Amino acid sequence: MRRHTANELAWDLVEHIRSHLDVAQLNTLFVKLGVGDHEFVIRLILRRLPRIGASLTPELLSRSQVWIDGYRGHTDYPWLLELLAATHPTALVTRHSWHWQRGSPSI
């Protein structure tokens, strides 16, 4: 995923959960976005979504999958897939050429 596209995803994820954040949390995320740390923001939001009871829209789910696919072959790849699956437990998340659901023993 191109850097500017990941940045756009991060901004859109912040907007998606904005109502679940207080001013201090928003300020922290805006500072991180302002200095270009979109990866931190994306990872943080993906971790927080299940805790706040929010899920991703189909469009954000798809864009997040594309971002995570950029980590294919990296040691964080399975962990990032698990994060994404936790945000939308009924969604199938692609890993290589097969599908798995959250909690699959294949990870």
Residues 82, 46, 91, 68: is their CA dihedral positive or negative? negative
Q: What is the mean pLDDT of residues 70-93?
A: 83
State residue 88's pLDDT score. 74
In this prediction, what percent of the chain has a pLDDT beyond 90? 60
- Lowest-confidence region among 58-62, 83-87, 94-98: 94-98
Q: What is the mean pLDDT of residues 70-92?
A: 84
With beta carbons less than 8 A apart as the criterion, state whether 107 and 78 touch. yes
DSSP code string of 29-45:
HHHHHHTT-HHHHHHHH
State residue 105's pLDDT score. 38
Q: Residue 81 to residues 26, 27, 35, 44: CA-CA distances in angstroms?
A: 25, 27, 26, 14
| 97 CB-near residues (< 8 Å, 6+ apart) | none
Alpha helices for 1-107 (secondary structure H): 3-17, 23-34, 38-52, 58-69, 77-87
